[in-house]
Chains A and B, each alone.
Chain A
Amino acid sequence: MENRKTTLDREQLSSEVIRGEQNFNQVLKGHQAMKPPLWKTAWFYGPIGLASLALVVAVSNMKPNSTEEDQILNSLNTQEEEVREAKNQFFSETNSVVVSKKETVLIASANPELPKALESVVVLIENIEKVPLEMGEEKIIEESIMETPVIEIQEVKRFKTMPNIAGVFTGKLQIDNLCSAGGVSCNNGFTVYSFDIQYHNGSGDVIERIKGDRFPPFLCNKLRAYNLNQEVMITNILAKNEEGMVERLISMRIEPIF
């Protein structure tokens, strides 16, 4: 049993004494003191909560993160990649120079066999316009890669070997070495036969596809004029191994300096 006290016949308090102890102001003060501060009330958290919710909804709507969309984009990127590689492989075999932009393919050919060979490319890539080419002629062929159907092509392996230009894989490189040395090379028995270069041509950034492992004079002039102390990206470096199989080497980031 708890600590309990029993008292017998305790003196009774009169109603007057009890009424004399009434203090309603004390009750009001106590009530005011018990009120929670504003920052603990719903009036404070309500608007903040709503604002946070609106922010989250806005951010989630801005972010195109649906898995389905990602899958479609990945699929299209893969198709684009496959078509580009098929073209590169074809043009490398036909000894032509291909200057490629995302939406445009520029073909400059010195090979009289090219018009005939181009027929087979058109069979492969339905969206390329059929254009008969003559020696030295330049034509712009529109393509819409996003609508290109999936085609079966020979597998191109990604090779994890670092290419270099005058021994430099990434970083600063003198423009003279870039243009006059052995071009893009690789030590593991690979011969580079084409690459993409992203650079500034005076009016904006462009990506061009270069056939061979050297930097052509027009490209060197552009790099010298507009790209000193700026990074240029060399990507999609395709090389042949000793067995003649096409391999892609890892991309380079070079900063031409004077």
Chain B
Amino acid sequence: MAVNPVYHQSNTKLQQEAVWIEEAKEDAERFGPLYTKYHEQIFRYVYQRMDDRELAFDVTSQVFIKALSNLHKYEFRGVPFSSWLYRIAKSELYQAFRDRKARRTVNVESIHLFEIIEEIDDDDSVFHKKKLLKCLSMLKEADLQLIELRYFEKRSYREIGQILEITENNAKVRAFRALERLKKQFLKQ
């Protein structure tokens, strides 16, 4: 599975990020480099889970506003700044869903779907694709999140763990169980 190069960084880049954060705590205008660096991946994370593009840009802006306003509370712990941004993004997304501004959307690419079908069943017919889409829509939110992060967005277990605030191993176990439940649902249909 491919590794997200923006997320997984060298120690030098992480240290550089820590310096930017400290500077931004003193002066909000110094937040610019962090915004430029992470805007695209936060937007893609948000847009993956909603249907409305303009609203996804709005939510992304809101994520960075919240981050900037709460930056004084942030403590650098050797993990990428984006893991904190993802957690804010998750919170803002669910706020948008609760306010009924946006509708929870599962965006799936066929190629990813076939990969899952391969893990469940050898037959990759169109019929099974529809069945799997139906099963995905019936999955619990927590399981769907793990399937999305792992199979649709191709994130590493370490990254998933940092976004969901769980350990890497726990992320692995939970993702496996989520896939098992999807499989069970799929075979029941």
Q: Which residues of A contact B (CB under 8 A)?
A: 1-10, 13, 15, 18-19, 21-24, 26-28, 30-31, 34-35
Q: For chain B, which range describes its interface: under 10, 10 to 19, 20 to 34, or 35 or more residues?
A: 35 or more
Q: Are B69 and A31 in contact (CB under 8 A)?
A: yes
| In the assembled complex, B103 has its CB within 8 A of some CB on chain A | yes
Q: Please tell me if B14 contacts chain A, counting CB pairs below 8 Å.
A: no
Are A9 and B110 touching (Cβ within 8 A)? yes
In whole angstroms, what is the CA distance A7 to B35 when docked? 29
- Is B53 an interface residue when CB atoms closer than 8 A count as contact? yes
Please tell me which one of the listed residues A5, A19, A28, A31 contacts residue B40 in the complex, with CB atoms under 8 A apart: A19
B65 touches A5 (CB 8 A): no
- With A4-B104, A31-B68 known as contacts, the answer to whether A13 contacts B113 (CB < 8 A) is no
Collect the chain B residues with CB atoms within 8 Å of residue A27's CB: 31, 35, 61, 64-65, 68
Query: How distant is the Cα of A93 from the Cα of B62 in the complex, in angstroms?
Result: 96
Chain B residues with a Cβ under 8 A of chain A: 28-29, 31-32, 35-36, 39-40, 43-44, 47, 51, 53, 57, 61-62, 64-65, 68-69, 103-110, 113, 129, 133, 136-138, 141
Partner of B35, one of A9, A15, A21, A22: A22
Given A22-B35, A34-B69: A5 in contact with B105 (beta carbons within 8 A): yes
A18 touches B106 (CB 8 A): no
A5 touches B28 (CB 8 A): no
- Cross-chain contact A24 with B65 (CB below 8 angstroms): no
Q: Decide: A6 near B137, CB < 8 A? Known: A22-B35, A28-B29.
A: yes
Q: Is the interface of A mostly helix, strand, loop or mixed?
A: mixed
Q: Give chain B residues whose Cβ lies under 8 Å from the Cβ of A5.
A: 51, 103-106
User: Is the pair A8, B105 in contact by a Cβ cutoff of 8 Å?
Assistant: no
Are the CB atoms of A28 and B61 closer together than 8 Å? no
Contacts of B133 in A (CB 8 A): 6, 8
Closest CB-CB distance, B39 to chain A, in whole Å? 5
The docked-state distance in angstroms from the alpha carbon of A34 to that of B64 is 12
- Give the one of A27, A30, A31 with max B CB within 10 A: A27
Question: Residues of A contacting B108 with CB < 8 Å?
Answer: 6-9
When distances are taken between beta carbons in the complex, the residues of chain A under 8 Å from B141 are 2
A6–B103 Cα distance when bound, in Å, is 10
User: Which 8 pairs show the lowest CB-CB distances between chains A and B?
Assistant: A30-B65, A31-B68, A6-B106, A5-B105, A27-B64, A34-B69, A4-B104, A18-B40
The 8 Å CB contact of A13, one of B32, B53, B61, B136, is: B53
A26/B68 contact (C-beta < 8 A), A7-B108, A15-B40 known: no
Q: Which residue of A lies closest to B130 (CB)?
A: A8
Cβ-defined contact, B47 with A30, below 8 A: no
